[in-house]
Chain A
Amino acid sequence: MNAAIDHDVILKLVDVSKVYSGTVAVKRANFEVRKGAVNVLVGENGAGKSTLMKIIAGVEQPTLGRILLEGEEVSFSSSGEAVSRGIGMVFQELNLFGNLTVAENIFATREITNRFRKIDSREQERRAAEFLERLEAGIRPDMLVEDLRIGQQQLVEIAKAVSLDARILIMDEPTSALSAAEVEILFKVIADLKASGVAIVYISHRLEELIRIGDYITVLRDGRITGQEKMKNVDTQWIVRQMIGSDAKDFAKADGHVPGEEIFRAEDICLPRVTGGLAVDHVSLSLRTGEILGIYGLMGAGRSELFDCIMGRHGHATGTIFIAGKKVRERDTTRRIRRGLALIPEDRQREGLVSILSVASNLTLASLSRFVRLFHISGAKENQAVAQMVRELAIKVADPAQEVSSLSGGNQQKVVIGKALLTGPKVLLMDEPSRGIDVGAKADVFRTMRKLSRDGLGILFATSDLDEVMALSDRIAVMSNGKLTGMFDRAEATEAALVAASALGHGPVPHTESHAHD
């Protein structure tokens, strides 16, 4: 790697901030992208990496700050404008049209036409084949994208970005669905691009990968850039330190209470996938009162789907669940909530909150019947419950009548938790409860989980964060590819064992991530 030579800066972000309703995703970031080099961006989930990249690619506009492209101030109002200035992006979530062919996807919005403005599909397919050849993917350009494996789709996305002849190419977790062999091919393509002077911005969680191909590294934490260095000057320890920071995660300590009787049991839960196969594959597990059972797994392992089945959100799911030894016959969400189940969904905005309603209305949405006399909502009773939740969960809000979207991510998450708690659950399902919230709020959420388990609630929580699952769980279940692939007591669980179990049924074992300990 020739990182010794200083590469020219092609793109510069100056004091860029991005605020979504409720969350500050990026705070005054200064970021430089260098030509002919791989610029690595790293940070934990929700640190703001993807947002920063979307700003560069013109998908999002910065709330404050400037973007300098080759010294000239630019502002992109759409990704089309960024593309026309030579900035391409491989998105983390696939941006492909499943109903179109591979070639049509690659040339979407840049269709090759003949004299009469008719699309020249033969030429498109020929050129698409060239790019696909480079990726050695074995994908025919006339195949429909929806018929491809997810890894192949990712390769199409990469081919599409490469075909732009971009000067700056952003890759947001391009390897997350690739096999080891495909990753090698991708790295070869990246090396070619680098040699031809393309600036590459590379985002990944896999530290080994980053150290191998990166020339420059930038670390983000909670929307702030905490470190910028040449890759040859740093090691894993440094990266982890910058990522986690001095305020190491505050996982409330276990208090040593002993779990009680079995409160919840799931037997043989199955959920068929639309595309065939099972999204949840014969999963059985049990939970005791006062126990925290962590479910660890990679993205797409079926954790959220399992929770959905337990909550009765899928009519075609099979299997049985028991609460306190009694079989739950109710199949709809409303009545399962009444039986004592409550879900804190992974996607706060889409499934957790009604963002245009007030904090108070959101808190009591699931438990309104508690405050009703005949058919009248008793304002006093409702306000009392709201005030109690705001106090217990330390929700920072000036007035509960405020719209919930005006709160920060962490406080929004507390509102979702409060809503679930007001239903008086026996079993709480928490799907990635710490996703996209800041350090202080995370600590609050973890403390709340401890307190609830002490009060006798059974908690099932799903996460893809190893530290979190190791620190909080009494027992750890591991899911992979819809199956339960491991069940460990905390005493016997090791990170290596969890990672190995989470990769079962996924082909080659992915690179083991390094994690810091203190």
Chain B
Amino acid sequence: MTDIPAKASVASASNGSVLLTLMKARTFIALIAVLIFFSIAAPNFLSAANLILMSKHVALNAFLAMGMTFVIITGGIDLSVGSIVGLCGMVAGYLVLNGIDLQVGYTIYFNVFEIALITLAVGILIGAVNGLLITRLNVAPFIATLGVLYVARGLALLSSDGRTFPNLVGKPDLGTTGFGFLGAGRLLGLPVSIWILVVVALGAAYLAKYTPLGRHIFAVGGNERAARISGVRVNMVKMFVYMFSGFCAAIVGLIISSELMASHPATGESFELNAIAAAVLGGTSMSGGRGTIGGTIVGAFVIGILSDGLVMMGVSSFWQMVIKGLVIIVAVVVDQAQRRLQSRVTLMQMAKAG
């Protein structure tokens, strides 16, 4: 009987395949559906200017959602990303305006490139704090990142006493000008933030598919015990995903501050929820082990297009929230239905064959 299961599952792949294929491609179908719907319902929706504007909105959520995807694949969650966005924005703003006062009569000013690196380092560092809490001190990811959410937000508010750092143009004599490039600059007609998104997304997708680390991320989420016995350094993998999530959040903090040319300490509130929604919509399983970067990006686009399109149609923001919630719930319900259908088909065939 040993050869039967193999045959059975091959058969099940072709059996009832239409429904299964439709279910598997649901995120794509949703994306195409919202595109078609809004191009008919909202005037100017398909104009180049609008599409670029929308992608800039989507990009912010997409960064966070990519970091979130890796975290969720390992079976964790990162609630602190929104606060990291806020704090990193404040760090960048502070450095542009004030530099670092060495307390001996000198103040160091950094150029924009250095400021970006320092800000990214701060994001990674906060991610590392999350990781250490989870791996070394055995705090549940939900609690650890919830704590860091509050701490980081509090620090962001403390850094300016709750005020906004305005007008981040910098001073030419200090070499701090050019901060606006990230948010407003363009390369080959596309906004810089989109290019960064493309680079990070390709990198993340490559990492997930072609590197041992990527394989280990999936293994840890699929079965942590088996991964550990196979010699996977589970703690290092977890450290990495939270640090990567922090890195993505820092990018978003930089871009937002740069777009607004100002840093506001409340920036990024509830961003973590949008990121989770995009990941889940893109097929990431909250129980770990499943998910793709591509799916998450598509998920982020569905959510982003949905909210921008509804705004253009003049739908009230209260209704927008209701609709967004329903879309997420439907996505997960379909996901579960697909899993059940698939496993039932396989099991029934094995039972009959065996």
Instruction: Report which of A24, A64, A419 forms a contact with B1, defined as CB distance below 8 A.
Output: A24
Q: Which of B178-212 contact A (CB under 8 A)?
A: 210-212
Q: Which residues of A contact B222 (CB under 8 A)?
A: 354-357
- Mark interface residues in B220-248 (1 if CB within 8 Å of A CB, else 0): 00110111111111000000000000000
In the assembly, what is the distance between CA of A22 and CA of B350, in Å? 9
**A64-B351, A357-B219 given; A369·B289 CB < 8 A:** no
In the assembly, what is the distance between CA of A364 and CA of B10, in Å? 23
> Is A441 an interface residue when CB atoms closer than 8 A count as contact?
yes
Instruction: Report which of B210, B226, B347 forms a contact with A63, defined as CB distance below 8 A.
Output: B347
In the assembly, what is the distance between CA of A423 and CA of B231, in Å? 10
- Mark interface residues in A408-427 (1 if CB within 8 Å of B CB, else 0): 10110000000100010000
Pairwise interchain contact A337-B231, C-beta atoms closer than 8 A: yes
In the assembly, what is the distance between CA of A408 and CA of B289, in Å? 21
Pairwise interchain contact B354-A354, C-beta atoms closer than 8 A: no
Q: Which residues of A contact B343 (CB under 8 A)?
A: 21
Pairwise interchain contact A24-B354, C-beta atoms closer than 8 A: yes
Q: Which of B270-324 contact A (CB under 8 A)?
A: 289-290
Pairwise interchain contact A402-B9, C-beta atoms closer than 8 A: yes
Pairwise interchain contact A343-B223, C-beta atoms closer than 8 A: no
Q: Shortest Cβ distance from A19 into chain B, in angstroms?
A: 5
In the assembly, what is the distance between CA of A64 and CA of B348, in Å? 8
> Is B346 an interface residue when CB atoms closer than 8 A count as contact?
yes
Pairwise interchain contact A377-B351, C-beta atoms closer than 8 A: no
Q: Which residues of A contact B8 (CB under 8 A)?
A: 406
**A333-B231, A372-B212 given; A354·B5 CB < 8 A:** no
Query: Quick one: closest B residue to A348, CB to CB?
Result: B226
Pairwise interchain contact A398-B6, C-beta atoms closer than 8 A: yes
Pairwise interchain contact B223-A350, C-beta atoms closer than 8 A: yes
> Is B45 an interface residue when CB atoms closer than 8 A count as contact?
no
> Is A112 an interface residue when CB atoms closer than 8 A count as contact?
no
Q: Which of B1-16 contact A (CB under 8 A)?
A: 1-10
Q: Which residues of B contact A436 (CB under 8 A)?
A: none
Q: Which residues of B contact A398 (CB under 8 A)?
A: 6-7, 9-10
Q: Shortest Cβ distance from A371 into chain B, in angstroms?
A: 8
Query: How many interface residues does chain A have, given as a range?
Result: 35 or more
Q: Shortest Cβ distance from B195 into chain A, in angstroms?
A: 23
> Is A116 an interface residue when CB atoms closer than 8 A count as contact?
no
**A397-B6, A406-B9 given; A377·B210 CB < 8 A:** yes
Pairwise interchain contact A376-B211, C-beta atoms closer than 8 A: yes
> Is B165 an interface residue when CB atoms closer than 8 A count as contact?
no
Q: Which residues of A contact B289 (CB under 8 A)?
A: 354, 356-357
Pairwise interchain contact B2-A377, C-beta atoms closer than 8 A: no
> Is A157 an interface residue when CB atoms closer than 8 A count as contact?
no
Q: Shortest Cβ distance from B235 into chain A, in angstroms?
A: 10
Pairwise interchain contact B6-A407, C-beta atoms closer than 8 A: yes
Pairwise interchain contact A361-B350, C-beta atoms closer than 8 A: no
Pairwise interchain contact A361-B226, C-beta atoms closer than 8 A: no
Query: Quick one: closest A residue to B223, CB to CB?
Result: A354
> Is A313 an interface residue when CB atoms closer than 8 A count as contact?
yes
Pairwise interchain contact B351-A352, C-beta atoms closer than 8 A: no
**A377-B210, A397-B6 given; A356·B290 CB < 8 A:** yes
> Is A245 an interface residue when CB atoms closer than 8 A count as contact?
no
In the assembly, what is the distance between CA of A343 and CA of B231, in Å? 10
Pairwise interchain contact B229-A64, C-beta atoms closer than 8 A: no
Pairwise interchain contact A19-B2, C-beta atoms closer than 8 A: no
In the assembly, what is the distance between CA of A304 and CA of B138, in Å? 25
In the assembly, what is the distance between CA of A17 and CA of B353, in Å? 11
Instruction: Report which of B216, B219, B226 forms a contact with A351, defined as CB distance below 8 A.
Output: B226
Most buried by B among A27, A313, A356, A440: A356
In the assembly, what is the distance between CA of A369 and CA of B231, in Å? 11
Q: Shortest Cβ distance from B290 into chain A, in angstroms?
A: 6
Q: Shortest Cβ distance from B20 into chain A, in angstroms?
A: 14
Pairwise interchain contact A406-B5, C-beta atoms closer than 8 A: yes
Query: Quick one: closest A residue to B285, CB to CB?
Result: A356
Query: Quick one: closest A residue to B9, CB to CB?
Result: A406
- Mark interface residues in A174-201 (1 if CB within 8 Å of B CB, else 0): 0000000000000000000000000000
In the assembly, what is the distance between CA of A397 and CA of B8, in Å? 11
Pairwise interchain contact A351-B229, C-beta atoms closer than 8 A: yes
In the assembly, what is the distance between CA of A21 and CA of B226, in Å? 18
Q: Which residues of B contact A379 (CB under 8 A)?
A: 210
Q: Which residues of A contact B63 (CB under 8 A)?
A: none
> Is B70 an interface residue when CB atoms closer than 8 A count as contact?
no
Pairwise interchain contact B219-A365, C-beta atoms closer than 8 A: yes
Pairwise interchain contact A361-B229, C-beta atoms closer than 8 A: no
In the assembly, what is the distance between CA of A139 and CA of B211, in Å? 57
Pairwise interchain contact A440-B347, C-beta atoms closer than 8 A: no
> Is A345 an interface residue when CB atoms closer than 8 A count as contact?
yes
Q: Which residues of A contact B351 (CB under 8 A)?
A: 17-19, 24, 63-64
Pairwise interchain contact B212-A369, C-beta atoms closer than 8 A: yes
Q: Which of A334-350 contact B (CB under 8 A)?
A: 334, 337-338, 343, 345, 350
In the assembly, what is the distance between CA of A408 and CA of B9, in Å? 11
A-B contact pairs, 11 of them (CB 8 A): A24-B351, A338-B231, A350-B225, A351-B225, A354-B223, A365-B227, A375-B211, A396-B6, A399-B10, A408-B5, A410-B2
What are the 4 tightest A-B residue pairs by CB atom distance, in nearest-first order? A354-B222, A24-B354, A366-B230, A368-B212
- Extra inter-chain contacts (16) besides given A311-B229, A402-B6, A408-B4, CB under 8 Å: A63-B351, A64-B351, A313-B229, A354-B226, A355-B222, A356-B290, A357-B219, A365-B215, A368-B212, A368-B216, A396-B3, A398-B7, A399-B10, A406-B8, A407-B6, A411-B6
